[in-house]
């Protein structure tokens, strides 16, 4: 029998959400300094990483023994491009804390054999002992990682095409060129293998996706709904994403 300890935590502001998520990461790493973290990018995560950098500077957390695996990386883009998720992670977190960058991994999105690169990423995660805590944002269309609507529930790390909605939503991160149209992403199955998951959503643009993700069982048109079958998910939401009125 699956005993679920999934829970929904609702905060009045995005800042309070970010602080609570950062506090969870700090707790996980304090309890297990060699934790393997699954990391995400996107605007929702920026205040989370800012809070972690502050916590590091105050001596509340050390990443020196942590290993990390990011969810996804754009194809068609060199890792040095400022819009790549490697550059983004360096700028937001890795360059400011004591993590050993040789233990920070992102999927290899530009290789000539994407199937092999995807399988290798899965092997690397397994060799690291699996993911202790996976951070997730959610797309307006219900995607997690870059598993767009229609992704198989048992999908693993692979090359995918991005939906128009995702290209539109992420255009704000690219001043000099269009958003890459494809990316390498962990699959829904990869994400579901993490021991614990923290899904983070803020703002009214996520209300509908959160609604569909949290009720009615798995629907392929909302990949995040697969998380209903994972017993250890904490949904960190602000009142807007949760669809509640903010108290006056
Ligand atoms: C990023 C990722 C995406 C984002 C999602 C939300 O690594 O995997 O699933 O988490 O698109 O992005 P924001 O936070 O920019 O709304």
| Active site positions, annotated | 72, 141, 143, 148
Q: Are 36 and 130 in contact (CB under 8 A)?
A: yes
Does the residue 248 lie in any domain?
no
Chunked mean pLDDT (size 10), the chain, 248 residues:
80 97 98 98 98 98 98 95 97 98 97 96 98 98 98 98 96 94 98 98 98 96 98 97 73
The CB of 43 under 6 Å from ligand 1? The reply is yes
Alpha helix positions (H), 153-243 = 164-170, 188-192, 207-214
SS3 content of the chain, % helix, strand, coil (to 5): 40, 20, 45
Give the 3-state secondary structure of residue 235.
strand
Write out the two tokens for 123: 């092997």
Does the residue 15 lie in any domain?
yes
Give the 3-state secondary structure of residue 199.
strand
Does the residue 206 lie in any domain?
yes
Longest distance between any two alpha carbons in the chain, whole Å: 55
Give the pLDDT score at 248. 44
The CB of 135 under 6 Å from ligand 1? The reply is no
Does the residue 201 lie in any domain?
yes
Does the residue 79 lie in any domain?
yes
Closest-CA residue, ligand 1 atom 1, reads 41
Containing 44, the helix (H) or strand (E) segment is none
Please state the pTM of the whole predicted model. Answer: 0.96
Give the pLDDT score at 2. 54
Number of the ligand 1 atom closest to the C-alpha atom of 203: 16
Range of the structural domain that residue 14 is part of: 2-238
Does the residue 227 lie in any domain?
yes
Does the residue 244 lie in any domain?
no
Give the 3-state secondary structure of residue 10.
strand
In the chain, the number of structural domains is 1
Phi, psi of 235 (to 5 degrees): -95, 110
Beta strands in the chain (DSSP E): 7-11, 36-39, 67-70, 72-74, 104-105, 133-136, 158-161, 182-185, 196-201, 233-238
Phi, psi of 148 (to 5 degrees): -80, 165
CATH number of 210's domain: 3.40.50.1360
Closest-CA residue, ligand 1 atom 10, reads 137
CA distances from 216 to 147, 189, 206 (A): 19, 19, 17
Give the 3-state secondary structure of residue 223.
helix
By C-alpha distance, which of 205, 207, 212 is closest to 228?
Answer: 212
The CB of 14 under 6 Å from ligand 1? The reply is no
87-91 own/partner pairs: CB under 8 Å, 24+ apart: 88/41, 88/173, 89/39, 89/41
Strand partners, 222: 219
Q: Distance between CA 125 and CA 86 in Å, rounded?
A: 17
If you ran DSSP here, which 8-state letter would residue 28 be given? H
Does the residue 59 lie in any domain?
yes
Give the pLDDT score at 195. 98
Q: Distance between CA 165 and CA 163 in Å, rounded?
A: 5
The CB of 47 under 6 Å from ligand 1? The reply is no
By C-alpha distance, which of 174, 173, 149, 162 is closest to 75?
Answer: 162
């Amino acid at each position: 029998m699956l005993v679920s300890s999934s829970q929904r935590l609702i905060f009045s502001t995005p800042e309070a959400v970010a602080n609570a998520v950062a506090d969870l990461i700090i707790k996980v790493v304090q309890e297990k300094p060699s934790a393997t973290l699954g990391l995400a990018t996107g605007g929702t995560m920026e205040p989370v990483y800012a809070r972690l950098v502050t916590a590091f500077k105050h001596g509340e957390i050390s990443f020196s023994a942590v290993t990390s695996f990011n969810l996804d990386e754009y194809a068609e883009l060199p890792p040095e491009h400022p819009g790549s998720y490697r550059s983004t992670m360096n700028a937001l977190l890795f360059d400011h804390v004591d993590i050993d960058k040789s233990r920070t991994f992102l999927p290899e999105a530009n290789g000539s054999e994407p199937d092999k690169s995807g399988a290798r990423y899965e092997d690397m995660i397994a060799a690291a002992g699996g993911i202790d805590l996976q951070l997730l944002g959610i797309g307006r269309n219900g995607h997690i990682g870059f598993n767009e609507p229609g992704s198989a529930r048992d999908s693993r790390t692979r090359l995918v095409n991005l939906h128009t909605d995702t290209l539109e939503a992420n255009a704000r991160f690219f001043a000099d060129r269009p958003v890459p149209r494809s990316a390498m992403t962990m699959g829904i199955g990869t994400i579901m293998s993490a021991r614990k998951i923290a899904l983070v959503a803020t703002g009214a643009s996520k209300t509908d996706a959160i609604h569909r993700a949290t009720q009615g069982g798995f629907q392929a048109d909302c990949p995040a709904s697969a998380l209903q079958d994972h017993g250890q998910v904490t949904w960190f939401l602000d009142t807007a994403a949760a669809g509640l009125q903010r108290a006056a």
